[in-house]
Amino acid sequence: MSYVQSSFLSNILCFLLMFALQPGSVLAQNKMSAEEEAIYKSMIKSSGNDPEMVEEAMKQTEFARNWTEGKDGIVYYHIVGVYAGQTNVVGGSNWIGYADVTDRVEIDLQWMLSESKMVGTPTIQNSKSEVRNPRNPEPSCSPPVIKGAYEHYELQGIKPGLSGTLELQVQTSYPVVEVAQFCTGSRKSVPASSKTRPEVLAVPSPVMLAMSLPDSDELRISPDKNSLIHKKGGWTWTFTPSIKE
pLDDT given at position 3 = 36
Residue 169 · residue 161 · CB < 8 Å: no
pLDDT given at position 9 = 41
pLDDT given at position 147 = 97
Q: What is the rounded distance in angstroms from the CA atom of residue 77 to the CA atom of residue 111? A: 7
Residue 43 · residue 200 · CB < 8 Å: no
**Residue pLDDT tens, the chain, 245 long:** 443 344 444 444 444 444 444 444 434 445 667 765 665 566 656 666 665 655 555 566 666 667 766 567 899 999 999 999 999 999 988 999 999 999 999 999 999 988 999 999 999 999 999 999 999 999 999 999 999 999 999 999 999 998 899 999 999 999 999 999 999 999 999 999 999 999 999 999 998 998 888 899 999 999 999 999 999 999 999 999 998 86
Q: Which pairs from 234-237 meet CB under 8 Å and 24+ separation?
A: 234/83, 234/84, 234/85, 234/87, 235/81, 235/82, 235/83, 236/81, 236/82, 236/83, 237/79, 237/80, 237/81, 237/201
pLDDT given at position 202 = 96
Nearest to 167 by CA among 197, 200, 137, 211: 200
pLDDT given at position 51 = 59
pLDDT given at position 56 = 59
Nearest to 95 by CA among 129, 140, 143, 154: 143
User: Is the pTM of the predicted complex or chain greater than 0.95?
Assistant: no
Neighbours of 225 (CB within 10 A): 8
